[in-house]
Amino acid sequence: MKIAVLPGDGIGPEIMAEALKVLKALDLDLEFEHGLVGGAAYDIVGEPLPAATLRLARAADALMFGAVGGPQYDTLPRAKRPEQAILGLRKELGLFANLRPAIVYAELADASTIRADVVAGLDLLILRELTGDVYFGQPRGVRTLEGGEREGYDTMRYTESEVRRIAHAGFRAAMKRGRKLCSVDKANVLETSQFWRDVVVEVAREYPQIELSHMYVDNAAMQLIRNPGQFDVIVTGNLFGDILSDEASMLTGSIGMLPSAALDENGKGLYEPIHGSAPDIAGKGVANPLATILSAAMMLRYSLNQDAAADRIEAAVRKVLAQGLRCADISQDGRQTVGTSAMGDAVLAALRA
């Protein structure tokens, strides 16, 4: 299995090194090939997503992505900015399903701004459709109406095939987890949402093992705070998913702990921590590598079909947290604070124990 490794900028290379340490310690036939991406690529070849990187990405079975961006690139023309690399990879590889787990480890429940008894043990996954909806729907624009008043407008639309493929991705993800899928929409108001719901119900016939439910997005926003433990997998459109996935990540309160994935129709995916390149701490050896290590576990589960190896990595992460090891971002009073590579080494040791 061929993995494209794209460390990127800032803390990207530091956290990626730890994830690779862990992946290489598994007894799997994985081949790693590194590519330039983001500002690191711009500095060398003048493009955030060079053609060679795209070739590498196309040929790989899965991609490990660090982070891109930095203040030195903020004044570049938009097309040259590091963040364009992510958009380009999503588009070129057809990565339409964004997977964002929100997991609260018992030991870190106090890091959340929500009461610990509400979030303790939380383990949910949000699947957000990434390439359709009101973000891309045409027509859109600003026009002047008869009488001279101006109006801004966008178009919410989903084709049947777009809903079908994200619904399938949702059901497949639920099969790998707790077998519960909640589809979030606004079917009481929006035609697009009623259509979404109808198509999800049709697709559900192929997955009799999965318990399907539906929820309006306003209620979902409330339930995520009130009782997040009720959810296993949530599937939703681009706009609602954008908002709900950020809300869900805040339940955990620890940005350095959260992995994510963007998948194509065949399960090939790009795996990355949800955080950015953290230029404020880059090069200091203090970045938390656990989100990237957990992204590697997701890659094994969702793209490479190595569920047992994914379980091993996740168990190793739980173990180091239980041992009291913390990077500075999740450290609380009296805990042992370790740097990036010491955290990676600890996960490695737990994996081998």
**Distance from C-alpha of 190 to C-alpha of 137, rounded to nearest angstrom:** 15
Q: How far apart are CA 251 and CA 221, in angstroms?
A: 12
| Alpha carbon 335 to its chain's center | 28
**5/174 with CB nearer ligand NAD:** 5
Q: How far is 343 from 353, CA to CA, in rounded Å? A: 15
Nearest distance from C-beta of residue 185 to ligand NAD, angstroms: 27
- Pick 22 or 255: Cβ nearer ligand NAD: 255
Among the candidate windows 126-134, 159-167, 268-276, 306-314, which touches ligand NAD by CB under 6 A? 268-276
The smaller minimum CB distance to ligand NAD, of residues 200 and 278, is found at: 278
Give me the least distance between CB of 282 and ligand NAD, in Å please: 8
Stretch that binds ligand NAD, among 49-57, 271-279, 295-303, 342-350 (CB under 6 A): 271-279
Token pair for residue 183?
Answer: 């589809």
Question: Which CB contacts under 8 angstroms, 24+ apart, belong to 160-166?
Answer: 160/195, 160/199, 162/96, 162/129, 162/131, 162/132, 163/195, 163/196, 163/199, 163/200, 164/199, 164/202, 164/203, 165/96, 165/97, 165/265, 166/96, 166/97, 166/127, 166/129, 166/235, 166/237
Catalytic residue chosen out of the listed positions 43, 110, 198, 218: 218
Does the annotation mark 242 as catalytic? yes
338, 325 Cβ separation under 8 angstroms: yes
Report the residue from 205, 280, 333, 353 that binds ligand NAD according to the rule CB under 6 A.
280
Least separation, in Å, of the C-beta of 134 and ligand NAD? 22
Contact predicate 343/18, CB 8 Å: yes
Cα–Cα dist 69/277, whole Å:
6
Which residues in the 44-103 window bind ligand NAD by CB under 6 A?
A: 67-70, 83, 86
Tokens 């008043």 appear where?
149
Query: Looking at residue 137, what DSSP letter applies?
Result: -
- Residue 42 is a catalytic residue: no
Burial per residue of 268-283, b for 16 or more beta-carbon CB atoms within 10 angstroms, e otherwise: bbbbbbbbbbbbebbe
In the complex, minimum distance from the CB of residue 17 to ligand NAD, in angstroms, rounded to a whole number? 13
Which is closer to ligand NAD, CB of 163 or CB of 338?
Answer: 338
Residue 340: φ, ψ to 5°:
-60, -50
Q: Which of 18, 47, 162, 329 binds ligand NAD (CB under 6 A)?
A: 329
281 is an interface residue for ligand NAD by CB under 6 A:
yes
Q: What tokens were used for 338?
A: 């370790």
Q: Is 61 a catalytic residue?
A: no
Active site residue 268: no
Active-site annotation holder among 186, 207, 268, 271: 186
Question: Which residues in the 9-38 window bind ligand NAD by CB under 6 A?
Answer: 11, 15
Name the minimum Å distance from CB 192 to ligand NAD: 28
| CA distance linking residue 260 with residue 329, whole number of Å | 19
Active-site annotation holds for 43 = no
Minimum gap (Å) between residue 351 Cβ and ligand NAD: 20
Q: Which of 242, 264, 319, 345 is catalytic?
A: 242
- Which residues are marked as active site? 135, 186, 218, 242, 246
Give residues in contact with ligand NAD (CB under 6 A). 11, 15, 67-70, 83, 86, 255-256, 272, 275-281, 287-288, 291, 327, 329
